[in-house]
Amino acid sequence: MSLSPIVLLYRAAGCPPYEKGGFHGVLDFEQHRSYFIQADRERVANFFELVVDGVDYDDPRSLPPRGVTISFLAKPSTKNVSTFHADISSLIAQDPKIAKGEAPSDFYLLEEDYYDCDAEQNDSVDRLKKVCSFVKALSFLAHYHDEKSKGNFLRLVFIRPDEIGVSKPVVLETHLDSEILSSVAKLNLEQMDGLCNSSEVEDSHYRERIGIFGNTLVEFVGQQVEPREAFALLVKNWRKFFESYQRNLAVYLSGFAFHKAKREVAQAEIDVSSKLSKIVGDISGKLLSIPVSLAAIVAIPRSDNVIIGALVVIGLLLGGFIVSHVIRNQSSQLARVVHSKEMIFSSIEGRKDVYPEDLVADIDQIKAALDEDVERLKSLLVIFSWLCWLPFTVAMLVHLYFCFAWFC
């Protein structure tokens, strides 16, 4: 059902006075005949006093195909809210769904000559639709609805989870009036819509944002305000409320960021320390070959054979080469660990200006300790790289000494 044909007839008649639920008009018959038939078919109006060129007709279906002028009395149907209304206040009063967040459609405002299907915008209607969106979003964010309410409005209940059973909840009754409509023009609903349209999948802090919104509303409205006044208070002071909500949210997110940063620093310390320990652990078994190799030198003077002594020296040479190569690999591994450490801490230190002083001090202390461990490990690897050749060097000197003694 569309109100369009009766609106076209009303406008074609020059927007005559609307009295006792209807209006009179005189129009060119053939030009407007289809409007009467369509309005009757859509059942959006009842027609009386239909007169075409002096002849009376009972209803639009009996109108002749030809004629010059038609006079009529039209009364738009009032069976639903898709009808004529004096103004926006009359529409709000007659449509019980508006205060529940459901925007009206297919209506005509007499005072402003505005039809809902017109292409032109209307400030009053735009504000009405905006307040409907606000009510719907607020009902989504409410902890629960008071279903016992029988009025043409919603009773939205907000509570503080940590004060259940201790303090009274805050109740908002979504009564609408012209004062609220004038205040709603200042509402910025983008972030509120973002809360309603988001989810835990898209936003890891979704539940926390919803909770902070409810807590802030309870704090802002207070428990001494009547439910009817609470809704008006929120609408009229929406900017202040949302600034308070954003402050509370920023405090939470800052605390979360600091705890996250602490976890990152602690995890970085564990990762780097374990990698440094692994470097020494991987070669500890091979480093034990150094004292064992030194014990093998005893076999040279006991052999009384130049060839056996030479084989011992060659064996220690190969052993030294293998251990030296392993130490070189561990040095390369250490360089990669140091590079990884620098990358991790450069990203952490890039945010130091927003961290509290105790966290900054912890970061500096951890980094200094790790740097000290790295330098100590570098020194150990240098020492081991020299010590791995000690068995071969000593064996070579002993072998040369006994070769000189055997031949001389």
What is the H or E stretch that residue 157 is in? strand 155-158
Within a domain: residue 361? yes
Burial tier of 84 (Cβ tally within 10 Å: 0-12, 13-18, 19+): buried
What confidence tier does 71 reach under pLDDT thresholds 50, 70, 90?
very high
Q: What are phi and psi of 337, to 5 degrees?
A: -65, -40
pLDDT at 163: 53
Question: Measured between alpha carbons, how far is 87 from 351 in angstroms, rounded to an integer?
Answer: 57
Other C-beta atoms closer than 10 Å to the C-beta of 129 total 17
> Is 132 in the same domain as 218?
yes
Within a domain: residue 87? no
> Is 23 in the same domain as 142?
no
Question: Measured between alpha carbons, how far is 156 from 380 in angstroms, rounded to an integer?
Answer: 70
pLDDT at 165: 46
> Is 190 in the same domain as 50?
no
Within a domain: residue 30? yes
Query: Which domain covers residue 148, as residue numbers?
Result: 96-102+118-236
Contact residues for 51 (Cβ-Cβ < 8 A; gap 6+): 57, 70, 71, 72
Question: Measured between alpha carbons, how far is 96 from 327 in angstroms, rounded to an integer?
Answer: 83
Mean pLDDT of all residues belonging to the chain: 79
Ranked by mean pLDDT, the top range of 81-95, 160-174, 304-318 is 81-95
Within a domain: residue 243? no
The residue among 190, 205, 236 that closes a domain is: 236
Look at residue 4 and tell me whether its pLDDT is greater than 70: yes
> Residue range 359-373: average pLDDT?
79
Ranked by mean pLDDT, the top range of 15-29, 306-320, 382-396 is 15-29
Look at residue 90 and tell me whether its pLDDT is greater than 80: yes
SS3 56: strand
> Is 262 in the same domain as 389?
yes
> Is 147 in the same domain as 216?
yes
SS3 96: coil
E strand spans, 65-135: 69-76, 84-85, 108-109, 114-115
Within a domain: residue 251? no
Contact residues for 241 (Cβ-Cβ < 8 A; gap 6+): 216, 217, 220, 234
Contact residues for 286 (Cβ-Cβ < 8 A; gap 6+): 322, 323, 326
> Is 57 in the same domain as 179?
no
Q: What's the whole-model pTM score?
A: 0.58
Question: Measured between alpha carbons, how far is 171 from 152 in angstroms, rounded to an integer?
Answer: 16
Within a domain: residue 86? no
**Total count of domains within the chain:** 3
Determine the residue type at 184: V
Q: Which tokens hold the place of 273? A: 């320390």
> Is 223 in the same domain as 138?
yes
Please say whether the beta carbons of 27 and 13 come within 8 A. Answer: yes
> Is 292 in the same domain as 363?
yes
> Is 205 in the same domain as 264?
no
Within a domain: residue 109? no
> Is 264 in the same domain as 210?
no
User: What DSSP line would sit under 325-350, residue for residue?
Assistant: HHHHHHHHHHHHHHHHHHHHHHHHHT
The residue among 236, 268, 293 that closes a domain is: 236
Q: Distance between the two ends of the chain, CA-based, in angstroms?
A: 127
Q: What confidence tens digit (pLDDT) does each residue in 320-334 have?
A: 788 788 888 878 888
Within a domain: residue 249? no
> Is 299 in the same domain as 227?
no
Please say whether the beta carbons of 234 and 217 come within 8 A. Answer: yes
> Is 284 in the same domain as 395?
yes
